[in-house]
Structure formats: C-alpha cells, structure tokens
Amino acid sequence: MATSRRHFLHGAGAAGLGAAFAPAQTRVSANDRIRIATIGHGGMGSGDTRYARSVPGVELVAVCDLYDGRLEHARELYGKDLFTTRDYREVLARKDIDAVIIATPDHWHSRISCDALAAGKDVYCEKPMVQQPAQGQDVVAAQASSGRIFQVGSQYVSSLVYQKARDLIKAGAVGQLNMVEAWLDRNTAIGAWEYSIPPDASPATVDWDRFLGNAPKVPFEAVRFFRWRNYRAYGTGVAGDLFVHLLSGLHFATGSLGPNRVYASGGLRYWKDGRDVPDVLLATLDYPEQPSHPAFTLALRVNLKSSMPQEQFGFRFIGSEGIITTGYNDLTLTSTPPERDPGYTIETFSKALQAEFLKQYREKYPPVKPSAEGMRPDREERYISPRGFDAHREHHRVFYEAVRSRKRPIEDAVFGLRAAGPALLSNTSYFERRICHWDAEKMQAA
Ligand SMILES: NC(=O)c1ccc[n+]([C@@H]2O[C@H](COP(=O)([O-])OP(=O)(O)OC[C@H]3O[C@@H](n4cnc5c(N)ncnc54)[C@H](O)[C@@H]3O)[C@@H](O)[C@H]2O)c1
C-alpha cells in the first residue's frame, strides 16, 4: 500500500461529519498491499490474524495486547520487527496502517471501533459489535461519517450453507416460513469459557487498569482478565457471545431486519465457578412481517453443558411445505408432500354426506394409480459445502475485497447492530425478567 498511498475526499454523503475527524484518509487499490494491525491477540485475534495474512497482499505490521505474554508470542510468530504495544492509540496513530482487526473483550469493541474509524482505518471488529445495544448507534454513525469499511466478524454470514438456505427460502422451498429454531450447545470446559490462565499472570505482566476501561474498578484478578466472558462487566454472556452468531445467520438467510419482541429465560445451572452470567439461556423472538418474509417466531437455545458428543450448532427453518436443517457445513431440505387426505372428521358426518364429500374430493383430486413414472425422489435433499471451504477464511477474504473495492460488505455496522441489538436484549430480558421491545428499523430498544 505504501507505493500508492494518497489522500482522498470523503464521498458527498459523508462529507459533513467526516470533516470533523479530518484523518489522513487512504484508499487501497486492487493490487496494493494492505497493512494491518491486530488489537487483542488472544484466542480469536490470533486466528483472525492468521486468516487475514492468508489473503494475498495483506501484511501484519503491529499487534496490540494487554498481556505481555501475548505480545511476546506475536513477536515469536511474526518476527522481532513487529511493532507491539499495550496502547491501541499508538497503533491508530501510525500512518502506515490501513486496517485493524479488533478482537478484544466485548466491553472495548465500540470505543476502539469508533476511534479506529475516526483515525481513518478500515475495521474488522469481532462480534458482538457492541456490548450494549445503545452503543450501536455510535458505531453506525462512525462508519457513516468516516466513509471507512467496517465489517463485523460473525463469519458464518460468509458460509455457503447460509447462502444455500437463503436461496432455497427465497425460491419457496419451505413454503411459507412460520418458525425458526436455532441452537448452539457445548459440552466442554473451554466451550464454557474456562480459558487457560498463564502461570506468570500478574499486575506486572497484565495492564489491568487499561483492561478495566470504563468497567467498575476492582483489584487485579487473573480469572477476570483471562476468563472475562464470565462477567457482565466485560462480556455479554451467551446472548452476545453465541445468540449473535445465530441472529446474524438468520438475518442473512431471511433478509430480515430483525424482531420486534424478545423474551428470555434460563439460569446458571452447571458452571458455578464465580461467573455472573447464565449457562443455559432460551429466548423467543417475534419477527413481524417484512418485505423479505412473512411473520415468524424464532426459538433460540444455548446450553453450555449439554452432554452432547460434540458442539451442536444449527438451524431449523420451518415452513408450510418443508424444513431446512443446517449444520456447520451441510444443509438438508425435507419437503412435506401437499395435504391430500380428506381427513378423519368426515366420519362424524351422516353416511350420505360422507359419500357426497368423497365424490367431490375425488373429482378435485383423482386417485393416482401407482406407477414407475409417479415415483418421486427421496423427500430429503442434502447439500454439502465444497471440501476445504472455510467460512472464517472467506469472511476475511470478503473484508479485504471490500477494503480494495470500497464497496460496503454485507455485515457492516448496520447489519452488526441489527444482530447484536436483539441478541443483547435477551440479556436485558433475562436479568430484568421482562419482555423487551426492539425497533428493527430504527435499531433501538422500543
Ligand atoms: N467470531 C467468532 O467465532 C469468535 C470466536 C471467539 C471469540 N470471538 C470474539 O473475539 C473477541 C476476543 O475473544 P477471545 O476469545 O479471543 O478472548 P481472549 O481473552 O482470548 O483474547 C482477548 C485479548 O484481548 C486483549 N485485550 C483486552 N483488552 C484490550 C485492550 N483494551 N486493548 C488491546 N488488547 C486488549 C487481552 O489481553 C487478550 O489477549 C471477543 O469479542 C469474542 O466475542 C469471536
């Protein structure tokens, strides 16, 4: 990118607000190198970085993290010339960085995203886009005013399975969609967020004050830093961690803007390790009729100790004429044959009326003699992703394609808020024991 960096003006629509930030804007052309930095190089940030570097032309120049062990590991992986820091603002101040990956705990997402966009960086921000629904508008506004590319990292949106589901639903394969079930269950300690704590964890190796940010001030505790998901102050519970993936997939597959009503219940049933969030959560969300779909009801489920042999992750899109069931890499369409049975209730009619009913019915639906031509294929059709296709890799490819083309990706800040908002309202519903209302058009709690 260094060879063709040049300043450019914001597009007309973004000019007003964008001028206030006045960052040195850059544009990346098709063949340029894209220089990136990762902010938060833990479990997901290190995976995101690997995928980003697999995209031709993408080069990692800096890593920011609050634990020295992770900065040291980044230098082990990418060389001693890698710029490392505990302060993300040093990354944003560098003029040679075009884009940043934000993979910090959830309570830092909106702040770093807004700062990065204002500094003229393109942003790949991990899900959930925000920790609180109300923070979403800040990110949407920062995306609009900066004119930068922003993509949320709910990678299943780039999955071929959801593209196939979307095409089938649009083509009417399940008839009239009326209900969706979605689940993401786990059965391991790591799956339940009991992440490893390094033996050298201490206030000397961890930037504790910076980690806390706007969260309540409490003395250093390694378990809070390395298992931050277990605490509402830093994470978003199963709603923000896992429901959000399901809502992103659902909104992509149905073209929906979102639900208008959310109700959740559950509890802390198994992982009583000091966490203050539930490990079992069920939610019901009502989706009103929208241009892309009829009204339907969504049932969401997460159980972090489900005794299933492996992680369970899927959807059932249930319609009047069929069901689409998804897995990680495959999808099955089960079609229901049209109803042709006059039904047992005619037996309650008089003999004469039964005969008349059947006569009329047979005129409408003449009996078909069984024949070889009349044989139907199996009612189940299974579709499998091509071997080697990886939605996470694809999601990064899509992001850097957008960085080059300057065309907004599907999972931008508006999409991100429409998934995160109602997912996070499940938390509000659970903790406040009430039904929550969401205005999907305006993207705010109603
Ligand atoms: N898309 C997915 O499937 C997926 C999977 C896992 C995690 N995630 C998301 O990725 C994010 C990170 O999760 P994780 O599992 O990698 O957590 P993690 O604890 O493994 O890593 C987070 C890292 O961020 C660092 N950090 C904390 N505050 C920081 C700050 N202010 N500035 C810079 N670095 C900071 C920590 O030191 C840590 O190394 C979360 O938002 C999570 O929801 C997404």
Reduced 3-state DSSP string for the chain = CHHHCCCCCCCHHHHHHHHHHCCCCCCCCCCCCEEEEEECCCHHHHHHHHHHHCCCCEEEEEEECCEHHHHHHHHHHHCCCCEEECCHHHHHCCCCCCEEEECCCHHHHHHHHHHHHHCCCEEEECCCCCCCHHHHHHHHHHHHHHCCCEEECCHHHHCHHHHHHHHHHHCCCCCCEEEEEEEEECCCCCCCCCCCCCCCCCCCCECHHHHHCCCCCCCCCHHHHHCHHHCCCCCCHHHHHHHHHHHHHHHHHHCCCCCCEEEEEEECCCCCCCCCCCCEEEEEEEECCECCECCEEEEEEEECCCCCCCCEEEEEEEECCEEEEECCCEEEEEECCCCCCCCHHHHHCCHHHHHHHHHHHHHHCCCCCCCCCCCCCCCEEEEECCCCCCHHHHHHHHHHHHHHHCCCCCCCHHHHHHHHHHHHHHHHHHHHCCCEEEECCCCEEC
Residues 112 and 200 in one domain: no
Residue 108 has pLDDT above 70, yes or no: yes
Residue 349 belongs to a domain: no
Residues 169 and 274 in one domain: yes
Residue 370 belongs to a domain: no
Residues 238 and 272 in one domain: yes
Compute the distance from residue 49 Cα to the ligand 1 centre, in Å.
12
* Residue 104 Cβ contacting ligand 1 at under 6 Å: yes
Residues of the chain above pLDDT 90, percent: 83
Compute the distance from residue 271 Cα to the ligand 1 centre, in Å.
21
Domain at 380, CATH number: 3.30.360.10
- The number of the ligand 1 atom at minimal distance from the alpha carbon of 155 is 1
- Which of 38, 44, 392 best tests ligand 1's pocket when mutated (most atoms within 8 Å of CB)? 44
* Residue 259 Cβ contacting ligand 1 at under 6 Å: no
Compute the distance from residue 428 Cα to the ligand 1 centre, in Å.
23
Residue 66 belongs to a domain: yes
Predicted local distance difference test score (pLDDT) of residue 18: 32
Compute the distance from residue 359 Cα to the ligand 1 centre, in Å.
68
* Residue 129 Cβ contacting ligand 1 at under 6 Å: no
Give the model's confidence band at 3: pLDDT under 50 very low, under 70 low, under 90 confident, else very high.
Answer: very low
- The number of the ligand 1 atom at minimal distance from the alpha carbon of 48 is 1
- Which of 68, 72, 104 best tests ligand 1's pocket when mutated (most atoms within 8 Å of CB)? 104
Residue 366 belongs to a domain: no
Give the model's confidence band at 8: pLDDT under 50 very low, under 70 low, under 90 confident, else very high.
Answer: very low
Residues 435 and 288 in one domain: yes
What's the mean pLDDT when you consider all of the chain? Answer: 91
pLDDT tens digits for range 326-385: 999 999 999 887 666 667 788 899 999 999 998 998 898 888 788 887 666 567 899 999
* Residue 70 Cβ contacting ligand 1 at under 6 Å: yes
Residues 83 and 199 in one domain: no
Residues 169 and 145 in one domain: no
* Residue 136 Cβ contacting ligand 1 at under 6 Å: no
* Residue 183 Cβ contacting ligand 1 at under 6 Å: no
pLDDT tens digits for range 34-72: 999 999 999 999 999 999 999 999 999 999 999 999 999
- The number of the ligand 1 atom at minimal distance from the alpha carbon of 207 is 37
Residue 348 belongs to a domain: no
What type of residue is 341?
A: D
Residues 180 and 128 in one domain: no
Residue 353 belongs to a domain: no
Compute the distance from residue 70 Cα to the ligand 1 centre, in Å.
12
Residues 296 and 433 in one domain: yes
**The total number of structural domains that make up the chain:** 2
Residues 259 and 287 in one domain: yes
Residues 115 and 167 in one domain: no
* Residue 44 Cβ contacting ligand 1 at under 6 Å: yes
Residue 16 has pLDDT above 60, yes or no: no
Q: What range defines the domain where residue 206 resides?
A: 158-338+375-389+413-445
Residues 189 and 125 in one domain: no
Give the model's confidence band at 410: pLDDT under 50 very low, under 70 low, under 90 confident, else very high.
Answer: very high
* Residue 45 Cβ contacting ligand 1 at under 6 Å: yes
Burial class (CB in 10 A: 0-12, 13-18, 19+), 11: exposed
* Residue 84 Cβ contacting ligand 1 at under 6 Å: no
Residue 305 belongs to a domain: yes
Residue 270: alpha-carbon gap to chain centroid: 26
Check residues 19 and 164 and name the one with the higher pLDDT: 164
Phi-psi region of 420 (alpha: psi -120 to 50; beta: other; left: phi over 0): alpha
Give the mean model confidence (pLDDT) for residues 132-161: 97
Residue 170 belongs to a domain: yes
Residues 95 and 65 in one domain: yes
Compute the distance from residue 262 Cα to the ligand 1 centre, in Å.
27
Residue 228 structure tokens: 């931050």
* Residue 210 Cβ contacting ligand 1 at under 6 Å: yes
- Which of 66, 158, 226, 244 best tests ligand 1's pocket when mutated (most atoms within 8 Å of CB)? 66
Compute the distance from residue 419 Cα to the ligand 1 centre, in Å.
19
pLDDT tens digits for range 166-188: 999 999 999 999 999 999 999 99
Give the model's confidence band at 307: pLDDT under 50 very low, under 70 low, under 90 confident, else very high.
Answer: confident
- The number of the ligand 1 atom at minimal distance from the alpha carbon of 44 is 16
